[in-house]
Amino acid sequence: MASTDTLPHYAVHTKRGPEAMEAAGILGTFTGTAVHDHWPPYFTYAECRQALCNAHQLRELQCIDKQFEQAWANDMAELLREIKAAVEETRAQALSLPLEWLEAFERRYDAIVQEGFEATPLPPPPANAGTAKKRGRPKQTPPRNLLRRLRDFKAQGVACMYDFPVPFDNTQAERDVRMVQVKQKVSGCFRTLEGAERFGRMRGYLSTARKHAKNVCEAIRDAFDGTPFIPFPAMQSRPLSSD
């Protein structure tokens, strides 16, 4: 699933990962900003800029706060929500937040991440490790895994405050793919790959018409009449949500 606020695209493939993405033919030529959930294959595309979905990060922070009782996770969640509110408040007057706001948010962000690392030390290696290889790097805990992502992908996580056209999350793609998931739950799997591909094309066509405020029934009639609805091509710089 790849979509903007005006164009959705549904691709079906027998595999996941770069092979399927290449077959979809979207990210390979995209030069804008792709907003996604930090799945590693997305980072193989160097021509486009990357941004992380903060809806996913907020859910993970809530889990760390509740299950591991890590106070820093709640502080980070509050900061991300403040950044979102600040962007929405300022969006009509500018393209990014004022420099002093950016610096203040960055300082708070870095301080929370540092607090998290201090509250979550590395676990000791297993006492019964029999080889030097096993005694090497201890297994990372969920809090530290999230902290490392927040530290190493800071710019991608708060990209929306530097560039307002970049959305706070990839909810657009989540919404667009929801009906496909509902169909799977209600009707089960597709019997053939060709049937799934046809469904993807039909779903993409109807969703595109709806996003352009065109009557869906009219769009179906136009398709059967040989004059399907075709919107203007989207600009390459438009942020892309992927799921």
In angstroms, the CA 54 to CA 80 distance is 8
For residue 76, the cross-strand partners are: none
Contact in structure between 241 and 167 (CB atoms under 8 Å) = yes
Claim to verify: residue 39 and residue 59 sit in the same structural domain: no
pLDDT digits over 64-86, tens only? 999 999 999 999 999 999 999 99
Question: In the listed set 162, 194, 228, which residue is the last one of a domain according to the structure?
Answer: 162
16 lies in the same domain as 77:
no
Burial of 224 (0-12, 13-18, 19+ CB in 10 A): exposed
152 and 89, same structural domain? yes
Tell which of 138, 162, 186 closes a domain: 162
Between CA 168 and CA 148 the distance in angstroms is 20
112, 128, 162: which is the final residue of a domain? 162
Amino acid letter at 195?
A: G
Range list of H helices, the chain: 18-24, 54-67, 71-90, 99-119, 142-152, 154-157, 159-162, 171-187, 193-211, 216-224
pLDDT single digits (tens) 99-155: 999 999 999 999 999 999 999 988 776 666 555 455 556 678 999 999 999 999 999
Q: Supply the pTM of this predicted model.
A: 0.84
Domain containing residue 105:
54-162
State both tokens at 237.
């710089």
The predicted pLDDT at position 131 comes to 54
